[in-house]
Structure 1
Amino acid sequence: MKRTFKTLAAVSALTLGLAAPAMAQVEVEWWDFLGGGDGVRMKALIEEFNAEHSDIQINGTTLDWGLPFYTKVRTSVAVGQGPDVMTYHLSRLPLALEEGVLSPITAADLETAGLSAGDFFEAPLAAASTDDGTLMAVPFDIHAVVTYYNRTALEGTDWLDADGNLTGLDSVEDMTELLTWAKEQGFSDPLSFQSEGGGGTWRMFYTLMRQQGGEMLTDGEVLAGDNLDKAVKSIQILADWRAEGLIPEQASYEASVALFSGGKSLLHINGVWEVPTFKDSAEAETLGFDWFANEVPQLLEQPATWADSHAFAIPNDPDMSAETRDAVLTVIGWMQEHSLAWAGAGHIPAYTPTVDSDAYAALQPNATYASLAQNAAFDPRSKIAGVASPIYDAVDNLIAPAVHGFLSPEDAAAQMKDQLQSLLD
């Protein structure tokens, strides 16, 4: 891997008569996939780190999100030309393990970083570990879907409590009642999300599935036992809402955000990363209403919300020097200690000392929906799951068409089961 050591003062005092100690600056090659508000915040953190450290400097590179990023990581690590540290989705960990691209993080590594396993929420720590408990990445956040809502429109109704939070949504029937009311009030698409397919539809489907206690994968079998019925029910709920005009017809990601911003949707279910979008719009006085965000309501048997995590991972490079690895771990530890700035992007820090701080408690709506960290439902631990995976393809080709009436929920679930199972057999 590429590493550069710059000698700042390597001249012998015996030669020049100067008492100048030798100092080496380690340059850490950093890759991420962070765009938009995430990218702006991460670049600011990197600049702050570099300003504070004379012995370590981060050289940051931002690559394309999704499949292009992970393909480049795989090929670069294979030829020894990867970064020293990189951001990584924990939903991609199973595939990373199969490809052998990550270096395990030991307890001694965490100590070097000034961290311990007890500093992190349980769910992302488990997602960052192998089945035998070996840590393969250091979680940085929990990013999940939340329910954004128009507080102004809900004022004086039974769906808003004294603190301005959503209430009375304890079942699918309750949600249908609220959305039907919103339709009657003139909201053309009462609940918006990315309904054309992709990540938005997967997150909605998987949240409903997990709220039934459903599992996509059980001992290597896709939708085993009654999980097939739970998948059908999840699709049927969304299909019913679509048939009743309560969710938009094949809305793209950008269109779904615009429906809420433009006052066409009462509710909007999307990732926490859109918090800055609505904050900025409110500050610019272009939103036109008071908004807030809560954890996705429990509509079925148990609380659960789709979630993933950005994490820091060290590529598997047997030639990495001890100095570079220590520098990387210093970077990771510093980022955790400064994760309040990252929380400004809407994410819940995985580092619990940040979430337990008074400064985080004052950060809204983040502190209100931080409860979802206990109910985070990560993608199945499989090479066919995670960002830019075959499961996402199944959403585009089967689940979304079923939601929009082009395929029955039963047929969509059965075909998804068969297609995904063939990739595991």
Structure 2
Amino acid sequence: MTGRFTKFAATVAMIAGLASPAWAKVQVEWWDFLAGGDGVRMKALIQQFNAEHPDIEIKGTTLEWGMPFYTKVRTAVAVGEGPDIMTYHLSRLPLALEEGVLSPITDADLATAGLSKEEFFPASIAAASDEAGQLMALPFDIHAIVLYYNKTALAGSKWLDTDGNLTGLESVEDMTELLTWAKEQGFSDPLSFQTAGGGGTWRTFYTLFTQQGGQLVTDGQVLEGDNLAKATRAIQILADWRAAGLIPEQAEYEASVALFSGKKSILFINGVWEVPTYKDQSTAGTLGFDWSANEVPQLLDQRSTWADSHGFAIPNDPNMSQETRDAVLTIIGWMEKHSLAWGEAGHIPAYKPTVDSAEYQGMEPNATYAVLAETAAFDPRTRIAGVASPVYDAVDNLIAPAVHGFLSPEDAALQMQEQLQSLLD
């Protein structure tokens, strides 16, 4: 009876001139973890998509970032109550594969989305794929750490070139010289980052570690061979800077941001997501100095910078209709092709046509540091790494204390090796 009534109602609607009756709209359940400026921009993109697509409606829900989000996804997907599409950190992909929460994205899916793998940066596609090369998510951005700097304070020094970019930083010794000079100029904490632990300490450590060619996990073994010595060296560099008063003591995230904006630090290592913060302050005239951001310099053996990606993933739901899946793929394709707005949040769009566009190339400092997408060092491909993982616990319990002199770098690296290995054995 219901089916006959629906057909009758649709016929009446068509006779009345309504080409797309309201109940024919595909509703897509969307989950993300995006707060702050990222959340504002994503909500604006969702609104624009909905306005342009009368046949598809994104119903968005924002959940708490980190472990709460991924726990919710795991439990919801397990009982068939997950969303139709969700944002996902690609650093969490190995654990997602183990949990079986993601649906593979096929070449046919890409065609439906109007996309191809070749249109994305290779590093982000690799991070979005399983070991066999099967795509499990679509990368939306590459968000890395960059080096923010006070251009006003560096003006006339040997560390600023004629284009206003940092120069002359080709070794740890070069960086130490600049920081020591800045200390003498009255900057109490010359290089700021989140030194108390957490993401900031991990990202800085991992950049120095991978600049030595370090690999956290190889063939299931943590810090095998000379990787232990490389981890020790990375910790030692940070500990030496702390001992010399060149980085702050126990700075939490918010404090590390304030040290740079408050002219206590001449340099600041943080994610590209803080670019809008300083752009807004500059526009409002509240910052008090000129600034910019460059790729973290190569201080050791090779160019490398910690990075992660926000991606779009489809939960593993065998009951999802083809109509809903096609709508999800339409959303993903549209979002990728409108990622210039996401670039305004500081992120490097993973979709190369956006980065190559004249609009993005005119966006500074974004266009300058976008080169790091070619040498981005994603978190190790292991279930113990990634956002809100045991690696973060090791940073809080071992690396940060060693940086602050409570543990030797050697002991910290060795205990990190032992603790993480026990989780893989």
Work out whether the TM-score is over 0.5: yes
> Residues 326-369 of structure 1: CA distance to partner in whole angstroms, max 9, x if unpaired?
00000000000000000010000000000000000000000000
Secondary structure of residue in 1 paired with 2:165: coil
Tell me if 1:12 matches 2:26: no
Q: Check the 8 A contact 1:9/1:21 in 2, yes or no.
A: no
Contact 1:202 1:392 in 2 (8 A): yes
| Deviation, structure 1 residue 16 | 8.8
AA at the equivalent of 2:304: A
Change (3 A) 1:16 1:135: closer
Q: Quote how far apart the aligned CAs of 1:9 are.
A: 9.4
Q: Decide whether the 8 Å contact of 1:87 with 1:310 is kept in 2.
A: yes
Q: Identify the residue that residue 216 of structure 1 maps to in structure 2.
A: 216
1:184-215 CA distances to partner (integer Å, 9 max, x unpaired)?
A: 00000000000000000000100000000000
Q: Secondary structure at the match of 1:11?
A: helix
Structure 1 residues 282-331: Cα deviation after superposition (integer angstroms, max 9, x where no partner): 11111110000000000000000000000000000000000000000000
What corresponds to 2:349 in structure 1? 349
Residues 118-267 of structure 1 aligned to structure 2 (within 5 Å): 118-267=118-267
Contact 1:305/1:375, CA 8 A, preserved across alignment: yes
- The residue correspondences of 1:375-390 to structure 2 (distance < 5 A) are 375-390=375-390
Cα distance change of structure 1 residues 258 and 133 upon mapping to structure 2, 3 Å threshold: same
Q: Counterparts of 1:159 and 1:301 in 2: how far apart (Å)? A: 20
* Percent identical residues: 76
Contact 1:149-1:267 within 8 A present in 2 as well: yes
Q: Which 5+ residue runs of structure 1 have no aligned equivalent?
A: 1-6
Which amino acid in the other structure matches residue 330 of structure 1? T
Counterparts of 1:3-42 in structure 2 under 5 Å?
A: 10-12=9-11, 18=16, 21=19, 23=21, 24-42=24-42
Structure 2 contact 127–378 (Cα < 8 Å) conserved: yes
Instruction: Please give the secondary structure, in 1, of the residue aligned with 2:275.
Output: helix
| Preserved contact between residue 142 and residue 308 of structure 1 (Cα < 8 Å) | yes
Cα separation, 1, equivalents of 2:387 and 2:8: 46
> Contact 2:20–2:55 at 8 Å: present in 1 too?
no
CA distance in 2, matches of 1:8, 1:70: 41
Q: For the residues of structure 1 that align with 2:113 and 2:354, how far apart are their CA atoms?
A: 16
Change (3 A) 1:45 1:8: farther
Q: Tell me, what secondary structure is at the counterpart of 1:12? A: helix
1:241 is paired with a residue of what secondary structure? Answer: helix
The separation in 1 between residues aligned to 2:126 and 2:382, in whole angstroms, is 14
Rounded to whole Å, the distance in 1 between the matches of 2:311 and 2:119 is: 14
CA contact (8 A) 1:141 1:347 kept: yes
Alpha-carbon distance between aligned partners in 1 of 2:377 and 2:87, rounded to the nearest angstrom: 20
1:114 to 2:114 alignment: yes
Unpaired runs of 5+ residues, structure 2, are 1-5
Partner of 1:53: 53
Give the TM-score normalised by structure 1: 0.97
| CA deviation after TM superposition for structure 1 residue 11, in Å | 3.0
CA offsets 1:128-165 (integer angstroms, 9 cap, x no match) = 00111100000000000000000000101110011000
| Offset at residue 8 of structure 1 (A) | 12
Q: TM-score, normalised by structure 2?
A: 0.97
Q: Which residue of 2 aligns with 1:4?
A: none
| Letter of the 2:380 counterpart | P
